[in-house]
Amino acid sequence: MTVDGEPGVVVQDAAYEAMLDRLEQLEAVTGIQRGIDSAKAGKGRPLDEFLAEMRRKHSIAPPA
């Protein structure tokens, strides 16, 4: 970080770091919950279907 072109220092206390960690965890849990809700609603598709599409799309040979 610079301040007016000069090197600067950023000091964060432990409480701020803990808040950032908690926010990251909350965002992860929210994403997981969206996935669970989507699956319960019947959205999505079988893994083998997805993998076959990705192999075709990216020219990846199936595993031996």
Question: For 6-60, how does the pLDDT look when each residue is reduced to its tens digit (9 = 90+)?
Answer: 877 777 788 999 999 999 999 999 999 999 999 999 998 999 999 999 999 999 9
pLDDT of amino acid 27: 98
Whether pLDDT at 3 is above 90: no
pTM to 2 decimal places: 0.56
pLDDT of amino acid 33: 98
DSSP secondary structure string, 1-64?
-EETTEE------HHHHHHHHHHHHHHHHHHHHHHHHHHHTT-S--HHHHHHHHHHHTT-PPP-
Q: For residue 19, what are its two tokens? A: 């808040």
